[in-house]
Amino acid sequence: MTSPDLEASRMANAGLRQKSELVLAGLVLGLGIFVIAGTAGITAAGSAIGLGPRFFPFLVGGALIIVGGCYIADVLRGGRGDPEESEDVDESAGSDWRAVALVGGVFLGFALLLDLLGFIVAGALLFAGVAWALGARGLPRTMAVAVVLSLGSYLIFVKGMGVTLPAGILEGVI
């Protein structure tokens, strides 16, 4: 048997949990609406294959709206997220704020260096920096993968979709 105080505490926690999940679901839905509204203002010609710079933001925004709407419906019908049950999770370990700060610094550095160095170089530094902050070791391999990812992203967006990205120090080379 449970005491009335314990039962009241469980009910209060369930109500707070539902409210927090509704807030998260609303944020996902709102982000989707924000992305769609921001994308609607982009004016650019489509590429030769018919995909312009608005395609992927519309795709992501639409997916966010669908996921947010489904999440809201699920929470209102009584669904709730299950806690982590992986066997290799140490619940007593705290958050790794060092990694969070490093990733935040890498993103800030990317934003500051993008116009100066260009997308390829700044993107490679971004990919390598995030990998390093999250525990990757073996700098040569990490940098090689980062350069391939950055160059591939640049070529897909610039050549494939006609999006203008800053070339920076590689102006005229690519």
Q: Record the tokens describing residue 171, joined without a space.
A: 């102006």
- Residue 8: the pLDDT is 55
Low-confidence winner among 63-67, 69-73, 85-89 (lowest mean pLDDT): 85-89
- Around 169, how many Cα atoms within 13 Å sit in the side-chain half-sphere? 8
- CA 54, 55, 60, 65 dihedral sign is positive
pTM of the predicted structure, to 2 decimals: 0.58
Say yes or no to pLDDT of 17 above 70: no
- Residue 14: the pLDDT is 56
Task: Summarize the confidence of residues 98-104 as an average pLDDT.
Answer: 93
- Residue 89: the pLDDT is 67
| Percent of the chain clearing pLDDT 70 (strictly above) | 80
| Residue 55 Ramachandran class (φ > 0 left, ψ -120 to 50 alpha, else beta) | alpha
- Residue 171: the pLDDT is 82
- Residue 56: the pLDDT is 85
Q: CA–CA separation, 55 vs 51, rounded Å?
A: 6
- CA 25, 28, 31, 32 dihedral sign is negative
Q: How many CB atoms lie within 10 A of CB 1?
A: 4
